[in-house]
Structure 1
Amino acid sequence: MLAAFGVGSASVDTVLTTSAVQPGGFVEGHVHITGGDHDVQIEQAVLSLVTRVEVESGDYEHHAGVELAQVVAAHSFRVAPGERQSIPFRMPVPWEAPITEVYGQHLRGMVMGVRTELVIAKGRDKGDLDPVAITPLPVQQGVLDGFAANGFRFKHADVEHGRLHGVQQTLPIFQEIEFWPPPQHAGRINEVELTFVANPYGVDVILEFDKRGGVFSSGHDAYSRFSIRHDQAAGTDWAAVVDGWVREATSRYFSHLPPGYGHGGSGGHGGYGGHGHGPHHRGPGMGTVVAAGAAGVVGGIVAGEVFEEVFEDDGGDFEF
């Protein structure tokens, strides 16, 4: 009877050898299982990459756990009393996995972990949950550097349930990274929301500009989308590219801007849908971009945020 209720059963501990990984990569590690007081027949050892997602339901919002990837590390095996077994695993990370770490710092609002479950007698023992960091791809890092170099400050990041219009997705979720605008845009833009949708060939960059409302007008959102190949990450002046995106969007959507605002002196860059600036546009170089990135983006990041507290911040409303 005690065994039926899990008393004296096997224990599980997962050790990740991959603490940080880029989208499209792999999380690797070992599942360590120690036998309890009696033989245990384990049907499966399952590992899942899970994250917290914001779900909108009418006028209400709540958080839910969503599985992004899963791998079965072992099938149908027995663990004897006191026996120790170590099972290696290698789990692919989806290209569309949200970013959780930038410049070595945890992004406030993001949650990501590897859940270990043992399937025993058609039941599931959820086991432990281990944090894992998803770091940016080179294109994603370049875009983040570009926003930082242009004075945008990190505000918040979250993952929402749903799909983006006109964007091909394999996962039913998308990440929004929010920025406060720099002083030169503060009177026109309330905030900018950045979304990456990556694939094996490149990254779609979706920008949402939240326009401030005036005394006699209401605010509205403007959207821009750009597709960038992975091989375009190196050698690109991301500060100039992002500046061109922002200027083009504000000029196109926000008609009350001063005359001539938003038109740089260089031609379009074909790799960015004709909206970016060419390599000869005057702007900060990559050294400046990286330095500004560490100061600008990380300025709004909470370093060392306690993983367990993030998972539990919604009490009983958020479970895996």
Structure 2
Amino acid sequence: MFKKMLAAFGVGSPSVDTVLSTTAVQPGGFIEGNVNITGGDSEFMIEQVVLSLATRVEVEGGDYEGHGGIELGHVVAAQHFRVGPGERQSIPFRMPVPWEAPITEVYGQHLRGMVMGVRTELVVAKGRDKGDVDPVAITPLPVQQGVLDGFAANGFRFKHADVEQGYLHGVQQNLPIFQEIEFWPPPQHGGKINEVELTFVANPYGVEVVLEFDKRGGMFSSGHDAYSRFSIRHDQAAGTDWAAVVDGWVREATSRYYSHLPADYGHGQGGYGHGGYGHGGYDHGHHGHGRGRQGVGMGAVVAAGAAGVVGGIVAGEVFEEVFEGDDEGGDFDF
């Protein structure tokens, strides 16, 4: 919630108080609330009231590397109306949350590294007043929660999460971003895996699960990354032994047999295969970490150009000022 005098209007301007009735929502759901406006000393004309869902994203290009903000979607709650002196108006809004929205909260605990909020923007004749950002939590879908629980049950520990700009090869995306949830491996896999990066790409029918295993090298061999992808329907969430499913995924990625398979292995459609769901593929090439990485595997990333960013990259300070220090919390415990 925020209450702010509209700087674009000058002295004696209206004040705005945005109240979210939805503070936690799953991908594909809706955020609801009210924008409460109280008139100032004189009558004002407001062209639009715009609510945007935005998150912080890793931005890399050329020599630049840092954080920016990206809009995931927006709604126009009202437009072309006047606010009289001292008049109070309450404008309700209902904003859809994209299926591909990154997760920011699990079991009521914030994922370190994630930032998400609803920004209120008023458009007036003199310009725009972007206002502040109200934090909102995106919680996992049942399939996503099951996979997270499966990693926890196998001893994986949460390390960090962030949102990166780009597209995943072979995965249909509507947003030019993807989330990476990073895990430390348990002792039984510590000699084979440095870390695991998990990405969810959800849609109305199910969830694409993309895994990147950063595999350790031996005395006479270098380490490399192994990628796999699985398609899981929403109705498969209940009644599934997620600990066993995740264990199967990890064993496949770390097995000596799979380390020698060609990169296009397993691209065909499958069912409840050896340890996993849907169609999985492994890529055993070498890929660097960062925006420049590319490859032929199912998990390879194709960098997105600035022109392809939905809503554009906005100033990172929009988030730094409002959410300063939010990603400095302790380790997340499933």
TM-score (norm 2): 0.77
Q: Distance in 2 between matches of 1:209 and 1:56?
A: 22
Q: What does 1:1-320 correspond to in 2, within 5 Å?
A: 6-58=10-62, 60-251=64-255, 252-254=257-259, 268=273, 272-273=277-278, 308-310=323-325
1:280 maps to what in 2? none
Question: Does the Cα contact within 8 Å between 2:115 and 2:323 map onto a contact in 1?
Answer: no
Q: Distance in 2 between matches of 1:176 and 1:190?
A: 15
User: How far is 1:91 from its partner?
Assistant: 0.1
Q: Distance in 2 between matches of 1:45 and 1:114?
A: 13
Local SS of the residue matching 2:220:
coil
Runs of 5+ in structure 1 lacking a partner?
256-266, 276-305, 314-320
Shift in CA distance, 120/168, structure 1 to aligned 2, threshold 3 Å: same
Query: Partner letter of residue 324 of structure 2?
Result: E
Question: Does the Cα contact within 8 Å between 1:35 and 1:79 map onto a contact in 2?
Answer: yes
User: How far is 1:37 from its partner?
Assistant: 1.4
Local SS of the residue matching 1:268:
coil
Output the aligned Cα RMSD: 2.3
Question: Does the Cα contact within 8 Å between 1:17 and 1:28 map onto a contact in 2?
Answer: yes
Q: Distance in 1 between matches of 2:113 and 2:8?
A: 39
Q: Distance in 2 between matches of 1:225 and 1:104?
A: 28
Q: 1:246-267 CA distances to partner (integer Å, 9 max, x unpaired)?
A: 1011115446xxxxxxxxxxx8
1:296 maps to what in 2? none
- Worse overlay, 245-254 or 219-228: 245-254
Question: Does the Cα contact within 8 Å between 1:13 and 1:127 map onto a contact in 2?
Answer: no
Shift in CA distance, 72/234, structure 1 to aligned 2, threshold 3 Å: same
Question: Does the Cα contact within 8 Å between 1:36 and 1:81 map onto a contact in 2?
Answer: yes
Q: 1:277-307 CA distances to partner (integer Å, 9 max, x unpaired)?
A: xxxxxxxxxxxxxxxxxxxxxxxxxxxxx96
Question: Does the Cα contact within 8 Å between 1:227 and 1:271 map onto a contact in 2?
Answer: no
State, as a whole percentage, how many aligned pairs show the same letter. 84
Q: 1:96-129 CA distances to partner (integer Å, 9 max, x unpaired)?
A: 0000000110000000000001101051111221
- Worse overlay, 124-133 or 167-176: 124-133
Query: Partner letter of residue 114 of structure 1?
Result: V
Local SS of the residue matching 1:140:
helix
Q: 1:31-62 CA distances to partner (integer Å, 9 max, x unpaired)?
A: 01111112110000000000000012235421
Q: Distance in 1 between matches of 2:236 and 2:172?
A: 20
Q: 1:153-195 CA distances to partner (integer Å, 9 max, x unpaired)?
A: 0000000000000000000000000000000110110000000
Q: 1:225-244 CA distances to partner (integer Å, 9 max, x unpaired)?
A: 00000000000000000000
User: How far is 1:312 from its partner?
Assistant: 10
Q: Distance in 1 between matches of 2:8 and 2:57?
A: 34
Query: Partner letter of residue 147 of structure 2?
Result: V
Q: Distance in 1 between matches of 2:71 and 2:279?
A: 36
User: How far is 1:7 from its partner?
Assistant: 1.8
Local SS of the residue matching 2:148:
helix
User: How far is 1:4 from its partner?
Assistant: 6.8
Local SS of the residue matching 1:272:
coil
Q: Distance in 2 between matches of 1:222 and 1:3?
A: 52
Q: Distance in 1 between matches of 2:185 and 2:119?
A: 37
User: How far is 1:3 from its partner?
Assistant: 8.9
TM-score (norm 1): 0.80
User: How far is 1:218 from its partner?
Assistant: 2.4
Q: 1:79-108 CA distances to partner (integer Å, 9 max, x unpaired)?
A: 111111100000000000000000110000
Question: Does the Cα contact within 8 Å between 2:246 and 2:276 map onto a contact in 1?
Answer: no
